[in-house]
Amino acid sequence: MLKFMRLLHCNLTIWFFAVALFAYPPQTRGQGDSRPDQPAQPNKAPTNPQHDFDFEIGTWRTHLRRLLHPLTGSSTWVEYDGKTVVRKVWDGRANLVELEVDGPAGHMEALSLRLYNPQSHQWTLNFANSVDGSLGVPTVGAFRNGSGQFFDQETYKGRAIFVRFVISNITPNSCRFEQAFSDDGGKTWEVNWIATDTKIVGLSAAVPRRTPAGR
């Protein structure tokens, strides 16, 4: 029962925080090459929220820029190039993102499991990388006016922070992803992850079907 109450309190905290940030957009902290969100292109996706991510199903060429040491005053960014594959699950009520990129800082493999909650009409984004091998704290949110905003509260290097993840500039063949941290309660944000995806036309993200043994 105690575990359930703690989980309920955490979910309510994230929900109220997300509502407040949607209503009052915070200032983005100028750090390195960080930039405030650019105006999003309207997304011509179905109005049913469970299909919010349908635009992203497929294979994409990814250019990733990552701030090497967030929340330290550093302005050192590293860049990667590679591929992202997004597969639909449960007829769009979930999807699996697989990212694989390379750059001077090394090789990176990551995935994101996105799950739609039909009761709250919100999505949870669950991120993991191959180094940790475990899912992190999910960001929670929804799409509004052509862009998606997702938030969570977690601990980073012993400090309590807020995390914001934004999906914007959505077109049929491109989209932009941006992650930012705040260590002052959401008053200012430092962008630390910028990915630009360009769709690779003609490549399917479908998972090959295996023929059962003996058939």
The predicted-structure confidence for 154-192, as pLDDT tens digits, reads as follows: 999 999 999 999 999 999 999 999 999 999 999 999 999
Q: Give the pLDDT of residue 139.
A: 98
Quick one: DSSP state of residue 200? -
Q: Which one is predicted more confidently, 113 or 134?
A: 113
Report the SS3 class of residue 58. strand
Give the pLDDT confidence of 47-103 residue by residue, as tens digits: 789 999 999 999 999 999 999 999 999 999 999 999 999 999 999 999 999 999 999
Q: Give the pLDDT of residue 65.
A: 98
- Antiparallel, parallel or unpaired: β 147-156 and 139-144: antiparallel
Element (H, E) at 11: helix 2-23
Report the SS3 class of residue 146. coil
Answer whether residue 121 shows pLDDT above 50.
yes
Spatial distance between the Cα atoms of 205 and 84, rounded to a whole number of angstroms:
10
Q: Give the pLDDT of residue 204.
A: 58
- How would you classify residue 111: left for phi > 0, otherwise alpha for psi between -120 and 50, otherwise beta? beta
Q: Give the pLDDT of residue 202.
A: 76
- How would you classify residue 52: left for phi > 0, otherwise alpha for psi between -120 and 50, otherwise beta? alpha
Q: Which one is predicted more confidently, 4 or 195?
A: 195
Mean pLDDT to the nearest integer, 28-32: 49
Spatial distance between the Cα atoms of 47 and 177, rounded to a whole number of angstroms:
21
